[in-house]
Chains A and B, each alone.
Chain A
């Protein structure tokens, strides 16, 4: 069955450092991969999308890479700030699926001043 894995342990980093979050998947041929941010008690909010034929995507302080050979995406936040503290979810829509969007469990990021 299809499976998405994200680090279940929280990531604690110091303000100003780069946070790197990992998303691994198995048994997928995803058309694209998305990253979302979720704050406690709220719905997820879309951040970035990267297609299977793209290796890297950037948006302001965010960078996403996508390695279809390793079946892995890395999500980077540079110059991190306490306001970046949240849970970050990756999501996959696999090729040929009926618009089925599957999410990982998310990784909680805490940025300390």
Chain B
């Protein structure tokens, strides 16, 4: 089955620690995205990548970092510089430059700072 997988589903982090959220897709999609969702709010774009070895900052990139070394993988690191990291994180992928493509989302990772 093709799809996009995020892990873990729940993650607890101590203050001052870096954590990495995993996102893997086997849809052969070029474009991948990370969004953050806070309770009762919409999705805010953190980082996105059009192609391997390329990524762009979204609207709220501060305190986060990404890499895109492989087409199928786009991990997100939440660093200690992110002041309020508790949120629901969603990864998505799309085919890329084709204009009429939808985004496929993973099931999300809920990060809690303890």
Contact = CB atoms under 8 A, between A and B. Distances in A.
A106 B97 CA distance: 26
Contacts of A105: 41-42
Interface string B68-103: 000000000000000000001010101011011011
A31 B35 CA distance: 21
A104 B42 contact: yes
Contacts of A100: 45, 48, 56, 58
Size range of the chain B interface in the assembly: 20 to 34
Nearest to A103: B43
Given A98-B50, A100-B45, A49 B100 contact: yes
A42 interface: yes
A28 interface: no
B16 to A, nearest CB: 28
A38 to B, nearest CB: 9
Contacts of A51: 99-100
A102 interface: yes
Interface in A30-85: 31-32, 34, 36, 41-46, 49, 51
A101 B108 contact: no
> Among the interface residues B90, B103, B107, which one has the most CB atoms of the partner chain A within 10 A?
B103
Contacts of B92: 43, 101
A89 interface: yes
Nearest to A43: B105
Interface of A: 6, 31-32, 34, 36, 41-46, 49, 51, 89, 91, 93, 98-106
Interface of B: 31, 33, 35, 41-43, 45, 48, 50, 56, 58, 88, 90, 92, 94, 96-97, 99-100, 102-108, 110
